[in-house]
Amino acid sequence: MKRRQFLKSLSAAGAASALPLPAVWSSANAQSRQETLLVVTEYAPNNFDIHGVGTNRPGYEVSWNCYDRLMTHGEKTLPDGTKSYDRDKFVPELAEEWDLKPNSVTFKLRKNAKFHDGTPITAKDVKWSFDRAVTVGGFPTFQMKAGSLEKPEQFVVVDDSTFRVDFIRPDKLTMPDLAVIVPGVYNSELIKKHATEKDPWGLEYTKVNTAGGGAYKVTRWQAGSELVYERFDDWKSGPLPKIKRVIWRTVPSAGNRRALIERGDADISFDMPNKDFAELKAAGKVAVVTNLIGNGIGYIGMNVKKPPFDNVKVRQAVAYAIPYQKIMDAVLFGLAGPMYGAKPGDPLQTAWPQPHAYTTDLAKAKQLLTEAGYPNGFETTLSFDLGFGVVNEPLCILVQESLGQIGIKVSINKIPGANWRGELLKKEMPLISNFFSGWLDYPEYFFFWCYHGQNAVFNTMSYQDKEMDAMIDAARAAAAANDTAAYDKNVQGFVKKAFDEVPRIPLFQPTLSAAMQKNISGYRYWFHRQLDYRTIEKT
């Protein structure tokens, strides 16, 4: 079967987004094919702008590749030979240099940098972008706050090519926070033309248009089907990428994504079941790269504001009823780090993630449920993100079966990926299967997002506890002061409290895998778990 016929057959099988291959695959245009990357994933971006409401993870990729930040991370080689960003090394991006002082950091911008429309990038654009990030609300504002970047007054235009950030407190996370996706630099004058009184930051425009100066720009988009990036040939913030064009197709069927990569019809395939990655790696026909996701856990979460999960014994009962090993074997195929089964009484580490001491013990779970006043169990709903259904669906079925054995009757609720973030923010779901990874790989950062009572975004279980908040805040202060003893004490304290009160049950530390043709090089693992096309090439 020829390549074009094969893709047509995928459409007939229900992969509506598997469109006929473009002319770049023509054998008469080998150079174009060499410079074009075809990527297939499970679902598509719902927003091009990280500052937008409910932007999903594929949307992060658009922001990362189409907008520059002042600085970024260097690269390191992991023990298994794979490449990763270096958490502790920062290198220039839009800023060619910076001067870090105790109370501020001053950046010198590249004077020849331009936005995609040819407009020069100035410090005024940087300030407008940072002001937007700390003012727009929701996730981007909380992300900036995680690094003590909170007020427009902190951001100062010194001159057209000089920008300063004033610190409001000592914070170890401030500089790392400047290298995540949120503080990208936007074309302020372009966006202002599309802003309205009701939409002063132009979010409706940037939802479906890019307004940056990054290495790539979006030139074509069919919602839920295909997105095309073109290289910005006048990009000055790093070595010009080798890949000129990226065609990113949404192929909902995991089987079809596997077939595309096995037959050589796609260059990179993301978001497949671990079983497929394990089998592809064993077969050896394509390259498979697998990395543990730093500062990340897959978990079962319980809404502590709603009965019966407002009862800690109910939550502990669920923790003892989870079929941990079955999930590792039947869903993850061993491609994950177990976050359960620590020996009771073992000292906690000053690290995250780390295993808790819960194991599958149905008798103990039943006893706790009885002590909580639910000897006959109860009914509830377990919700999951269908965008990650390849893991979530079988996982939820195993949890449903296991909870049924202690009297908890579970209905499963599948939520489309584009709607998942919005449903999380409502804080109405009683029981969820979810995943969270902290962009900044520090325990206090993860807990700031997921357990701090003031955080309304990823504290998905509505957990609020003043002692927990105090330990998280104290750990951040101790880190800034280089007080190791106080830091260790507070980190171990908030980890213990999280395990004791278990608003969320860590199941595993997931891995991120990508299958790619063997002529692809330059792949790098990133904290945002999406592709960075700037370093990828075909050899």
387-407 mean pLDDT:
94
Give the total residue count for the chain: 539
Beta bridge partners of 107: 98, 163
- Position 456 scores a pLDDT of 67
Q: Tell me if 435 sits within 8 A of 296, measured CB to CB.
A: yes
Closest CA to 219 of 36, 21, 31, 15: 36
Judge contact between 488 and 500, C-beta under 8 A.
Answer: no
State whether the Cα torsion 341-317-325-276 is positive or negative: negative
Please report the pLDDT score of residue 30 as a whole number: 58
What confidence score (pLDDT) does residue 345 get? 86
DSSP 61: H
C-alpha torsion 472→478→483→484, nearest 10: 30
φ, ψ at 18 (rounded to 5°): -80, 85
Comparing C-alpha atoms, which of 242, 248, 244 is closest to residue 536? 242
pLDDT of residue 23: 38
| Residue 539: per-residue pLDDT | 85
- Could you report the per-residue pLDDT of 344-380, keeping only the tens digit for each? 889 999 999 999 999 999 999 999 999 999 999 999 9
The continuous run of DSSP H or E covering 367 comes out as helix 362-371
pLDDT at 43: 84
Please enumerate in sequence order all residues whose Cβ is within 8 A of that of 516, keeping only pairs 6 or more positions apart, or say none: 261, 267, 268, 269, 286, 287, 288, 289, 523
pLDDT digits (tens, 9 = 90+) for 309-357: 999 999 999 999 999 999 999 999 989 999 999 998 899 999 999 999 9
Bridge partners of residue 508, in order along the sequence: 298, 338
Asked if pLDDT for residue 11 goes beyond 60, the answer is no
pLDDT in tens, 114-163: 999 999 999 999 999 999 999 999 899 999 999 999 999 999 999 999 99
Q: What angle do CA 374, 328, 440 make, to 5 degrees?
A: 95
- Mean pLDDT over 26-43 rounds to 76
Q: Give Rg (Cα) of the chain.
A: 24
Q: Which of 30-39, 61-70, 89-98, 202-211 has the lowest mean pLDDT?
A: 30-39
What is the structure's pLDDT at 341? 92
Instruction: Find where tokens 């504001």 sit.
Output: 305
CATH topology of domain 296-510: Dipeptide-binding Protein; domain 3 (3.10.105)
Residues of the chain with CATH 3.40.190.10: 3-65+191-292+512-538
Q: Do 399 and 383 touch, CB atoms closer than 8 A?
A: no
pLDDT at 3 over 80: no
Query: Average model confidence (pLDDT) for the chain?
Result: 92
Distance CA 259, CA 264 (A): 8
Give pLDDT, residue 17. 37
CATH 3.90.76.10 fits 86-189, yes or no: yes
Q: What share of the chain is helix, strand, coil (3-state, %, to 5)?
A: 35, 25, 40
Task: Give me the phi and psi of 124, to 5 degrees please.
Answer: -65, -35
> Going by DSSP bridges, is the β-strand pair 36-41/245-250 parallel, antiparallel, or unpaired?
parallel
Burial of 74 (0-12, 13-18, 19+ CB in 10 A): exposed
The amino acid that residue 302 corresponds to is M
Higher pLDDT, 463 or 539: 463
pLDDT per residue as tens digits for the range 414-435: 999 888 988 998 999 999 999 9
Is pLDDT above 90 for 21? Answer: no
The two three-digit tokens of residue 275, written as one number: 């079983």
The rounded distance, in Å, linking the Cα atoms of 362 and 354 is 23
Mean pLDDT of 53-68: 95
Percent of the chain residues topping a pLDDT of 90: 85
Do you find a cis peptide bond into 353, omega within 30 degrees of 0? yes
Q: How many CA atoms lie within 13 A of 74 on its CB side?
A: 6
Give per-residue pLDDT as tens, 213-245: 999 999 999 998 999 999 999 999 999 999 999
Is residue 10 predicted with pLDDT exceeding 60?
Answer: no
> Per-residue pLDDT tens for 434-487?
999 999 999 999 999 999 997 767 899 999 999 999 999 999 999 999 999 999
The helix or strand, by DSSP H or E, that contains position 216, with its residue range, turns out to be strand 216-222
- Residue in the block written with tokens 């992969």: 15
pLDDT surpasses 60 at 16 = no
- Identify the pLDDT of residue 417: 84
At 20 the pLDDT is 41
Numbered ranges of CATH 3.90.76.10 in the chain: 86-189
Q: Is the distance from CB of 509 to CB of 477 less than 8 angstroms?
A: no
CATH 3.10.105.10 positions along the chain are 296-510
pLDDT at 422: 87
Q: Which two tokens stand for residue 508?
A: 């595993």
Q: HEC states along 413-464?
A: EEECHHHHHHHHHHCCCCEEEEEEECCCCCHHHHHHHHCCCCCCCCCCCCCC
Q: Give me the pLDDT at residue 29, please.
A: 54
Print burial letters for 339-373: b (CB count within 10 Å at least 16), e (below 16).
bbebeeeeebebebbbbbebebeeebbbbbbbebe
Encoded amino acid at 106, one letter:
T
**For 1-144, where are the E strands, in sequence order?**
36-41, 71-77, 83-92, 95-101, 104-109
Split at pLDDT 50, 70, 90, the class of 403 is very high
Fold adopted by 3-65+191-292+512-538: D-Maltodextrin-Binding Protein; domain 2 (3.40.190)
Q: Which of 317, 331, 494 is nearest to 398 (CA)?
A: 331
pTM: 0.86
Amino acid 47: pLDDT: 95
504 with 446: CB under 8 angstroms?
no
Cα 313 to Cα 317: distance, rounded to the nearest angstrom = 6
Distance, in Å, from the CA atom of 282 to the CA atom of 261, rounded to the nearest integer, reads: 15
Q: Are 480 and 258 in contact, with CB atoms under 8 Å apart?
A: no
Residue 479 near residue 444 (C-beta atoms within 8 A): yes
- Cα separation, 104 vs 167, in Å, equals 5
